[in-house]
Structure 1
């Protein structure tokens, strides 16, 4: 089936879903990285001395839906926007905007965030630059600080969190990318998976012990199919390391191992906290499914591994002309592309993922299954 047709059908199906039914979620709180960042990275980068240069606060970011850049790393809405719309909630704003009313939710995610605290990467010289202090534990701290504002006029946070949906992730992609970028082997990268998963599990437990009941935990996407990673690794000329789709097998193996371990750990948590509803969200298979979708003529899409917005090259990603920089241009129809800027995805891709997490088959259990009972 044509990729555009698949995405159009899914878009129409979401118009007939649940809206503001009071049995459903009344708020949404998100921890994560750039896949669900609504603008926190832009704010943090501007506060650094000297300020960290950012390009996703410039056109064509936001071109499809908002019409202007919002700090989201996409041409439009991201996964959490579609989840919010499903429940009649406002689109989340960045927590660092210090908005006055956070009772219906707020976004704590920050681009570049890690599951392991950033000082680990700096101390072990895995990075050659100063990282933003935006790790999972930091975001949990921000949530703790906002608890009084979130739960005012409610009978404690246990009551006000009972109808909230919490996102914990995606986390892990940046952790592994830092280790890969330091020139480490696949085995060395793999050795970090247990601690990454352990930190995610601890965060879920912390939320549940604080009153959360509904927690969604996404796994890792197939980062070995990322136009950016494919471009950066092409100079290594290891042709034997590519799979049948042209993705990097070693990077995807780490992602699959992470997902397997995380899914098993979530299963254990369900036994420990039977009153909670802990959902594993598959971020890997929906991307693979879209990458394998044929084009209008029924052939494999030649643009499947290319970014919509970029500065040229085999995968349309160029370090000197990243999307938002001078010299980079966007494709005419982002909905026909999986990747937006070489790292992040198009609004059409995010909509497809959100639908799969809401209704299945890409979540266990799907967000909307057995709701309201």
Structure 2
């Protein structure tokens, strides 16, 4: 517990006085999936299939910080909430709430969002269910529709109205790869989709820059082979799997690493093309791996490193019949003592660590605060 206390005090000191950076950005716009969704999936799902319950719209989601569910897939805040706090910005609401005040930005991220348009997965029978139309290109369309309203509320009008905004593009790719793995694709086959997925992400970043964006954060993929959900689903197949020294699935993590290497290369080319833009490559992989490799340093018991805080039992505490929020699932008493919150997403403590690492380093190229001060 002493380590947990020290860890908490460290983060409190790092985020104390966040308003001191408020002069840098006047707004925040986020595109992405469930890692930074703040409620759009709940809204879209209710409109599309109102009879189907959405489990993360129930306690214990939100228990740590908000005291009630907010649509975030965590026990509390997610990465972009900590980023907003750093710059003295309000925690963004879901864009689909259609708030009349967009002067501080908007969060367009939706759980399940893909880099490739969803009709590709449906048309090629890669999924056996109807997907929400929430892909990267769709979210870009939402941003384009909102831009005139945002710019009209910005001093100076549309000219340069995005120049003082911070943009997030991602994380994208995890859902694309999950659909492909679930469709029975081999590692080689999944790898073959990486160039197109990365190209779509980079094209979106370029589109934002052309629209006037200057500061864009582009997160890579996390080590999804360490997900308690995927580890459970793979173990139930009774197949011989190859695990790394942490206990994660090597093939899934190799795809994530390949994605991240290719993303870095393409972002490098984009920087050369647009030297005035500040494109920040955010590493989502290494922070998670560092926590799993040295759990004790983060107040996480080694036996819980690959277990989820909120679940329904089993080796990894993830049960498809009792997913977090469903009857039969319970949450641990101290989510900060876990890396994973619900088997796919992370605890507020994990997101806080990642946000700090992106703001100050070392897991961002360049760190966000370094990018804006030089």
TM-score normalised by the chain length of structure 2: 0.96
Contact kept? 2:94, 2:107, Cα under 8 Å: yes
1:294 Cα offset (Å): 3.7
1:7 Cα offset (Å): 3.4
Q: Hey, what does 1:209 align to over in structure 2?
A: 210
1:243 Cα offset (Å): 0.7
1:188-210 superposed Cα distances (whole Å, 9 cap, x missing partner): 10011000000000000000000
Contact kept? 1:292, 1:300, Cα under 8 Å: no
Instruction: Report the Cα distance in structure 1 between the residues aligned to 2:248 and 2:159, rounded to whole angstroms.
Output: 44
> Does residue 4 in structure 1 map to residue 7 in structure 2?
no
Q: Hey, what does 2:315 align to over in structure 1?
A: 314
Q: Hey, what does 1:108 align to over in structure 2?
A: 108
Q: Given the superposition, is the C-alpha separation of residues 170 and 324 from structure 1 closer, same or farther in structure 2, using an over 3 Å criterion?
A: same
1:13 Cα offset (Å): 2.8
Q: Hey, what does 1:279 align to over in structure 2?
A: 280
1:15 Cα offset (Å): 3.0
Structure 1 segments, 4+ long, off by >4 Å, are 296-300
1:105-124 superposed Cα distances (whole Å, 9 cap, x missing partner): 11000000000000000000
1:52 Cα offset (Å): 3.8
Question: Partner of 1:200: helix, strand, or coil?
Answer: helix
Q: Hey, what does 2:198 align to over in structure 1?
A: 197
1:315-363 superposed Cα distances (whole Å, 9 cap, x missing partner): 0001110000000000010000000000000000000000000000010
Question: Partner of 2:167: helix, strand, or coil?
Answer: strand
Instruction: Report the Cα distance in structure 2 between the residues aligned to 1:236 and 1:311, rounded to whole angstroms.
Output: 19
> Does residue 120 in structure 1 map to residue 120 in structure 2?
yes
Instruction: Report the Cα distance in structure 2 between the residues aligned to 1:51 and 1:115, rounded to whole angstroms.
Output: 28
Q: Given the superposition, is the C-alpha separation of residues 199 and 343 from structure 1 closer, same or farther in structure 2, using an over 3 Å criterion?
A: same
Q: Hey, what does 2:88 align to over in structure 1?
A: 88
Q: Hey, what does 1:28 align to over in structure 2?
A: 28
Which piece of structure 1 moves more, 13-22 or 176-185? 13-22
1:278-318 superposed Cα distances (whole Å, 9 cap, x missing partner): 00000000000111224389996100000000000000001
Q: Hey, what does 2:97 align to over in structure 1?
A: 97
Contact kept? 1:321, 1:327, Cα under 8 Å: yes
Aligned-pair Cα RMSD in Å: 1.9
Contact kept? 1:2, 1:295, Cα under 8 Å: no
> Does residue 41 in structure 1 map to residue 49 in structure 2?
no
Q: Given the superposition, is the C-alpha separation of residues 176 and 6 from structure 1 closer, same or farther in structure 2, using an over 3 Å criterion?
A: farther
1:277 Cα offset (Å): 0.2
Question: Partner of 1:278: helix, strand, or coil?
Answer: strand
> Does residue 134 in structure 1 map to residue 134 in structure 2?
yes
Q: Hey, what does 1:328 align to over in structure 2?
A: 329
TM-score normalised by the chain length of structure 1: 0.96
Which sections of structure 2, spanning at least 5 residues, go unmatched? none
Count of matched residue positions in the alignment of Structure 1 and Structure 2: 373
Contact kept? 1:29, 1:164, Cα under 8 Å: yes
Between Structure 1 and Structure 2, the one with more helix by share is 2
Which piece of structure 1 moves more, 182-191 or 158-167? 158-167
Instruction: Report the Cα distance in structure 2 between the residues aligned to 1:181 and 1:310, rounded to whole angstroms.
Output: 21
Which sections of structure 1, spanning at least 5 residues, go unmatched? none
Q: Given the superposition, is the C-alpha separation of residues 100 and 183 from structure 1 closer, same or farther in structure 2, using an over 3 Å criterion?
A: same
Q: Hey, what does 1:227 align to over in structure 2?
A: 228
> Does residue 256 in structure 1 map to residue 269 in structure 2?
no
Instruction: Report the Cα distance in structure 1 between the residues aligned to 2:102 and 2:51, rounded to whole angstroms.
Output: 28
1:139-189 superposed Cα distances (whole Å, 9 cap, x missing partner): 000000001111114334342211100000000000000000001100010
Q: Given the superposition, is the C-alpha separation of residues 162 and 180 from structure 1 closer, same or farther in structure 2, using an over 3 Å criterion?
A: same
